[in-house]
Homo-oligomer: A and B are copies of this chain.
């Protein structure tokens, strides 16, 4: 949706220089682009727009549009998979970005299967190190955007944020946001309602959490980049 007035003002009044930062947003909807609109994307676009207007270079990947192989190795073509879009189309963007945001729909209260594919493939790189002999994800920061029609934002964020910190990401305060409706089936985020309004667009809580998450990701990424990452003592692989 269009940025709220508060979001517009915060972007306008932002004085930090984020212009050397890169972010990749990976949408883990089960639907490829030819299978319909993604409600999760609708919400992710708000965070992307705030970052872009603050100078961050933003990439967006809809995972279902790619052939990402199952497995826990960096390139599954070397392990029996016929095709694998991960090593050339997705991994380089993750590797080169200071910020990663995973978006996921909720199915049976949990993240999508494609979200787990992405987590497994990130994990596949956990044996690699940066030039300070730390896990390769050290110095990066991550967050999570979740949509569903009934229940499970926290359960999904739990899993996603835990996985990211486990492989080396730093998690800023309040690094998740999402939208669900009242208990039970109902409209998904952004669906047009009978009165012409769109589901969730007037939810101040969702907008506020998205705003907090987005700025906190940029602040922590700024701080980590300025510090040259996390000091390399007590956290190096060969020790």
Residues of chain A having any CB pair with chain B under 8 Å: 6, 10, 13-16, 30-32, 34-36, 64, 70-72, 79-81, 107-114, 116-117, 119-120, 123, 135, 137-138, 151-155, 157-159, 161-163, 165-176, 178-185, 200, 203-206, 208, 211-212, 214-216, 218-220, 222-224, 227, 230-231, 233-235, 239
Q: How far is the CA of A181 from the CA of B185 in the complex (A)?
A: 12
**Nearest Cβ in chain B — how far from A161, in angstroms?**
6
Partner of A80, one of B35, B107, B166: B35
Q: Are B205 and A219 in touch, CB under 8 angstroms? A: no
Q: Are B184 and A175 in touch, CB under 8 angstroms? A: no
Known: A35-B81, A170-B170, A222-B231. 4 other contacts (CB 8 A): A109-B154, A173-B230, A183-B200, A219-B231
Q: How far is the CA of A85 from the CA of B175 in the complex (A)?
A: 31
Of A72, A185, A211, most buried by chain B (CB within 10 Å of CB) is A72
Give chain B residues whose Cβ lies under 8 Å from the Cβ of A218: 234
